[in-house]
Amino acid sequence: MAEQTSTASSRRSSANRKPKKNQIPLGFLTVAFIIIVALLLNIKSSNMAFFWLTGTAFGFILQKGRFCFTASMRDPYLTGGTSITRAVIIAFAITTLGFTAIKYGYAQAGLPIPGMSYVVPISIATLVGAFLFGIGMVIAGGCASGTLMRVGEGFIMNMIAFVFFIIGSLWGAHDFGWWKEWFISKGPSIFLPDVFGWMGAVIIQLMVLLILYVVAEQYEKKRGGAH
């Protein structure tokens, strides 16, 4: 009797569900729109068309992969899952090899090493800035990439966060010189190949990432998070 009641309830629930709309035509229209915009931008600048297409592709990948740095730090505490955390660690490992190869090639050729402007001093400003940025990411529900992705999905909160993200970025850029002179530049700049050599720097960084990966995997098993 209970089984018949459950079956009848399930049938009524299925009957009350609205049929899903066919989104294939909308998908074709979206692809056509992307192509048309790319062609129009290409008339003005091939770079703009390239940026439009690559930006669209990255947005699609982010949305489908649900890839977000905030989630990689937040999910272990909320759900116990570390799949995104481990994905970020793997991404760091791959980029470590790739960028090291590029930088080493330039160094061996006697050319200026690209990206050295990003080797910035480490000081108390780094810790304070990371702490504030972490709080902001959690409150907003996403980092820069996650916020952009959710704006495209129509999340009102992330639209508000995006507006203040722009305001904060412009404000920070305006006052960055003062912060750099009085706070940021007070610490030492550390480029690992200068300390451990190119091979040593790669090995140390990959070992640290491997340890973090194992810790994340064991943490998920201990918490019983979803794989």
Q: Quick one: which of 85, 88, 65 has its CA closest to 76?
A: 85
How many other C-beta atoms are found inside a 10 Å radius of the C-beta of residue 150?
22
- Look at residue 18 in the predicted model and tell me its pLDDT: 66
- Look at residue 36 in the predicted model and tell me its pLDDT: 93
Q: How far apart are CA 216 and CA 68, in angstroms?
A: 16
- Look at residue 222 in the predicted model and tell me its pLDDT: 87
Q: How many CA atoms lie within 13 A of 120 on its CB side?
A: 11
- Look at residue 2 in the predicted model and tell me its pLDDT: 46
Domain boundaries, the chain: 23-65
Q: Which residue has the tokens 């610490």?
A: 187
How many other C-beta atoms are found inside a 10 Å radius of the C-beta of residue 179?
13
Q: How far apart are CA 57 and CA 48, in angstroms?
A: 14
pTM above 0.85, yes or no: no
- Judge whether 115 and 103 are in contact, CB under 8 Å: yes
- Look at residue 196 in the predicted model and tell me its pLDDT: 94
Q: Mean pLDDT, consecutive 10-residue segments, the chain of 227 residues?
A: 51 60 82 92 90 88 76 81 90 94 93 88 86 82 79 85 89 88 83 92 96 94 70
- Cβ contacts of 97-101, under 8 Å, gap ≥ 24: 97/202, 100/198, 100/201, 100/202
